Structure 1
Amino acid sequence: MALNQSLRPGLIQLRVLDLDETLKFYKDILGMDEVCRTSDGRVCLKTYDEFDHHSVTLRLADEAGLDYVAFKVASNETLQEMVKATEQFGYTVTEVPADSDQPGYGKRYRFKICTGHTFELYSEVALAEKTPGTINPDIWNEPPRGMGVIRLDHFLLYGPNIEEAERYCTEVMHMYVPELCNKPDGKRMATWITGSNKPHDLAFVEYDKPGKIHHVGFLLQDWNHVGQVADLIAINRLKKDIGPTRHAITRGQTIYFWEPSGNRIEVYAGGYTAYPDNPQRVWDVDHLGRGLFYYEGEIIPSFLEIVT
């Protein structure tokens, strides 16, 4: 449920090094459906439980990482208000025509924020050809494949000046911050931001290099499914980072691993219910290891150091 005006992170475009091998992972192991291919060779995918046309686009490139993320907002009126507020905030906005580089999507507005990441806002997207049922529906129309991810859930971005990025999300996108981590000098080290009851739609970590992505998070049904993902990681010889484990931050049950092109993936279940009137949860940096990995109680170096 969106509590304000930003509904959800609805689209992410990732750069991959080997399109065929990486696409096989997203379809056969992660369990997404291929929706279409664009004239320039990009591939659009969705999970079995998403209604929108697609949520993930893969683009062949020489370097793995993130092209941009896009957020769906409540209405065209909301969209226009946010575009105006974005320009007043100080970011230059360009319009992306409807049904152009992302099939099925209405007009989108693109801009770069202080962390070096490209954001987009949109309010209209076509329904997918295959969607969850709506009339006396079964729990699914076709059995989920592989890891059976339910939806694109969130992402963690690395870049400089995250306090400004946090302020943009709260002031312009009308999100809020359920949880954060501060350095000893009081400056922000990490922030978890949401526009709904989820613990986070996106998160930022302060980092000296702009435009980096730490991971893309997909939702699973429950802790048992996290364990099944661990089995599939082992069976398919994927490189695991950490887990199965649990976060104290967000309280999510989780496992992290890398897809064939080197982008880190999280699959995630659980987490607390967030409300904007709840007291904010605050972590000191010397407790961050326990916050990130509640069972291990310490930071795993690869988790903080490897980004794309």
Structure 2
Amino acid sequence: MAITGVMRPGHIQIRVLDLEISRKFYRDVVGLVETGTDPQGRVYFKCWDERDHNSVILRQADRAGVDFVGFRVSDRAALDGFERALKARGLATDRLPAGEMLETGERLRFTLPSGHDFELYADKTHVGNGLGLVNPPPWGADAERGIAPIRFDHCLLYGPNVQENKALFTEVLGFRLVERILGPKEAGEPELAIFLSCSHKTHDIAFVEHPEPGKLHHVSLRMASWEKVQRASDIMGMNKVSIDIGPTRHGTTRGETIYAWDPSGNRFETFAGGYEPYPDWEPITWTFDEFGHGLDFPTGKLHESFLGVVT
């Protein structure tokens, strides 16, 4: 588990088509904690058990999708070191000033070979989870509103140049490959999907080869257990949320999951379980002919919407 360098996913900014409808959906149905609105009109949320001020930011736009993803690094020295390493790699970087996002320090932004804006930061205001740090209870009122995920877990991004992304993340940012999905034998079995971790989770970010750059497949929100995923399915049903897949289990990552759609058509996931790949973990490979079970282990079905719909 990383104690230096890149530590964990920190935030994601999502484009939505109707900010007020989306605000209510993410607050009341998904059960995120609203933490502020900035002068640009962006709305900020955190999951109930996260201590940082924000992890999910919504921006009104005329098309759905993702603006950028941010990961937290251990300290400012690490941030400076990554900037030097990225420039040595030939990547252009930009420094966004502290405060451009609410309660967030200076951010180092660059564009991935897949066309996604990605950023690193070292500082964000701690607001706590409402339970305190001395003799805390195991949960509070925020853990009971809506689906109530405990944290922003990972995201899956679609775009070209997945192998260049893999090299950048493993050689510069300190991630490691945990799982991969190969293409068909007749195409030479290229890596179509990669699952990368900077911690001891099954993945902190994943990429799928896709011709269009900068696309979002899903934002994943961590649930505490399979039981909580099943509870999420009841809440989705009560609120007429459109479900893409699930409840089911992946073969890849062994995660227990539901994929569903927000009001703008962005896919989100409620995810639990998975194994714990420590640094000596050997990557798992899924062949193309068995990927149906990698996606939906009980049925082995390759869901057309899951494979083809991105924002």
Q: Report the TM-score range of the alignment, normalised by the length of the smaller protein.
A: over 0.9
Distance 2:171 2:82 in 1: 10
Correspondence 1:138 to 2:137: yes
Aligned pairs for 1:132-171 (under 5 A) are 132-144=131-143, 145-171=145-171
The corresponding residue for 1:35 is 35
Correspondence 1:119 to 2:118: yes
| Matched letter for residue 285 of structure 2 | V
Native 8 Å contact 1:54 1:128 kept in 2:
no
Distance 1:4 1:285 in 2: 36
Displacement of 1:2 in angstroms is 2.6
| Matched letter for residue 53 of structure 1 | H
Give the percent of matched residue pairs that are identical in Structure 1 and Structure 2.
43
Distance 1:85 1:50 in 2: 30
The corresponding residue for 2:103 is 104
Displacement of 1:171 in angstroms is 1.1
| Matched letter for residue 241 of structure 1 | D
RMSD, aligned α-carbons: 1.2
Correspondence 1:231 to 2:234: yes
Deviations 1:97-135 (A, max 9, x none): 0112x1111100111111000000111111126544211
Correspondence 1:302 to 2:305: yes
Distance 1:301 1:261 in 2: 20
| Matched letter for residue 197 of structure 2 | T
Distance 1:119 1:159 in 2: 13
Greater displacement, 132-141 / 259-268: 132-141
Q: 1:238 aligns to what SS in structure 2?
A: coil
Displacement of 1:289 in angstroms is 1.0
Aligned pairs for 1:264-303 (under 5 A) are 264-303=267-306
| Matched letter for residue 162 of structure 2 | I
Q: Which runs of 4+ in 1 moved over 6 A?
A: none
The corresponding residue for 2:223 is 220
The corresponding residue for 2:23 is 23
Distance 1:143 1:158 in 2: 32
Distance 1:131 1:152 in 2: 17
The corresponding residue for 1:128 is 127
Deviations 1:195-247 (A, max 9, x none): 00110001000000000000000000111111111111111111110000000
The corresponding residue for 1:12 is 12
Equivalent residues, number: 307
Native 8 Å contact 1:150 1:219 kept in 2:
yes
Correspondence 1:190 to 2:193: yes
Aligned pairs for 1:3-82 (under 5 A) are 5-82=5-82
Native 8 Å contact 2:219 2:269 kept in 1:
yes
Q: 2:290 aligns to what SS in structure 1?
A: helix
Distance 2:45 2:252 in 1: 29
- Scaled by the length of structure 2, the TM-score of the pair is 0.96
- Scaled by the length of structure 1, the TM-score of the pair is 0.97
Distance 2:289 2:129 in 1: 47
Native 8 Å contact 2:3 2:74 kept in 1:
no
Distance 1:132 1:109 in 2: 32
Q: 2:253 aligns to what SS in structure 1?
A: coil
Native 8 Å contact 1:50 1:150 kept in 2:
yes
Deviations 1:254-306 (A, max 9, x none): 00000111100100010001112111101111211111110111211100000
Native 8 Å contact 2:44 2:57 kept in 1:
yes
Q: 1:27 aligns to what SS in structure 2?
A: helix
Native 8 Å contact 1:48 1:150 kept in 2:
yes
Greater displacement, 105-114 / 140-149: 140-149
Native 8 Å contact 1:15 1:66 kept in 2:
yes
Native 8 Å contact 1:4 1:195 kept in 2:
no
Flag structure 1 segments of 5+ consecutive residues without an equivalent. none
Deviations 1:5-30 (A, max 9, x none): 21111010000001111111100011
Greater displacement, 57-66 / 175-184: 175-184
Distance 1:191 1:132, change over 3 A: farther
Distance 2:131 2:299 in 1: 38
Aligned pairs for 1:172-183 (under 5 A) are 172-183=172-183
Native 8 Å contact 2:159 2:211 kept in 1:
yes
Distance 1:60 1:274 in 2: 37
Q: 2:275 aligns to what SS in structure 1?
A: coil
Flag structure 2 segments of 5+ consecutive residues without an equivalent. none
